[in-house]
Amino acid sequence: MLSTSARLLRLASLLQSRRHWPGADLAAELGVDARTVRRDVDRLRELGYPVEASSGVGGGYALGRGAVLPPLVLHHEEAGALAIALRAASASVGGIEATALRLMGKLDQLMPQRLRRRATALHAVTLSLRNGPALVDAGLLSELATACRDHRRLQFRYRKHAGETSQRDVQPLRLANFGRRWYLIAWDSDRRDWRSFRVDRIEGAPHAGDAFVPRPVPDDVAARLERGIAYEPFTCRITLRIAGTVPELQAKLPVWCGVLEPETRTHSLLRVGADSPESLLAQVLMIGQDGEVVDGEAMAPALRQVLARMSALFSAREAGCP
């Protein structure tokens, strides 16, 4: 069992993490009974923490406004998660590398030695390999997030997959992260439908307009938007029927391989898109599953040409040709 001082720090940390805690949940987190929780709450109040308590159904504890808390209270899992998040974000979001280093420096001063070593170990031993420029600017992401939160219309110039640009007027809903790319999910006012916009294709600074009332989101909007991100923008597309349910195949297939959709109780559809026949064939081969083509027969001649080139390449090697 934790000592009283360690338990009080843990209690303060828990109260920071949520607006309201039922007493039973706090007792379970701390590994003590309800009476000990009440005594520890009283100790925090004596130290100047305005902890509010409520009784009855839905009762519990909450940290009041104006609380003067310790500079930072983190557990080792939280410290490690923060370091990993900073490292991962630096790989795909531009303009935060220096900020991430400054933040890690501040954490280094605030955390105990044991947690400091754990949190900074990832940065100390990780080698950043070349993976291209960051795909999105942190300032732009912040602007889009603010518009989503405040329900403010946005106008911006957008470059589509094929290269043409157009002016868009949207009601932003959410930001979505797919691999290293970021997308803005929004209602397109001109096209009267939900759309996804790659954030790195937004040109210039968006203009925030009037506030709007968020519209109801259809149940299938997530599936439709996933198709709009991973399948429909590509010129080379194919749909395969594969044995297995969507959850079963999600556990086997890479997330980037395409869009999975249920078809029957025993089979699913996998929609694969790519910029070229070579890339499309590579993705299909890397799936590593037998399947049946149900849409995309028009791609067959181009795919056969790619296979013929590969066959000729290895035939030449076997024949001893340079």
DSSP 129: -
Query: At residue 110, does pLDDT exceed 70?
Result: no
Proportion of the chain above pLDDT 90, given as a percent: 32
pTM over cut 0.75 = no
CATH pick for 4-63 out of 1.10.3720.10, 3.90.550.10, 1.10.260.40, 1.10.10.10: 1.10.10.10
Q: Of 64, 34, 40, which Cα lies nearest the Cα of 51?
A: 64
Per-residue pLDDT band at 75 (split at 50, 70, 90): low
DSSP 217: P
Per-residue pLDDT band at 136 (split at 50, 70, 90): confident
Q: Of 19, 61, 17, 20, which Cα lies nearest the Cα of 43?
A: 61
- Decide if 138 contacts 95 (C-beta within 8 A): yes
Q: Give kind and range of the element (H or E) at residue 117.
A: helix 113-125
> Could you report the per-residue pLDDT of 243-300, keeping only the tens digit for each?
999 999 988 888 778 899 999 999 999 999 998 999 999 988 888 888 899 998 899 9
> Could you report the per-residue pLDDT of 214-233, keeping only the tens digit for each?
988 877 777 877 888 888 88
SS3 category, 125: helix
Q: What is the full DSSP assignment across 19-85?
A: S-B-HHHHHHHHTS-HHHHHHHHHHHHHTT--EEEE-STT-EEEEPTT----S----HHHHHHHHHH
Indicate the average pLDDT of the chain. 82
Domain residue ranges of the chain, discontinuous segments joined by +? 4-63, 76-125, 136-217, 234-310
Look up the CATH number of domain 234-310: 3.30.70
Q: How far apart (Å, rounded) are the C-alpha atoms in residues 54 and 15?
A: 14
pLDDT at 2: 61
- 292-295 vs 236-243, strand pairing mode: antiparallel
Residues 6+ apart with CB under 8 A from 122: 80, 83, 84, 87
Per-residue pLDDT band at 93 (split at 50, 70, 90): confident
Residue 240 vs residues 20, 230, 268, 318: alpha-carbon distances, Å: 48, 15, 8, 33
Q: Do domains 4-63 and 234-310 have the same CATH topology?
A: no
Pick the more confident residue, 247 or 73: 247
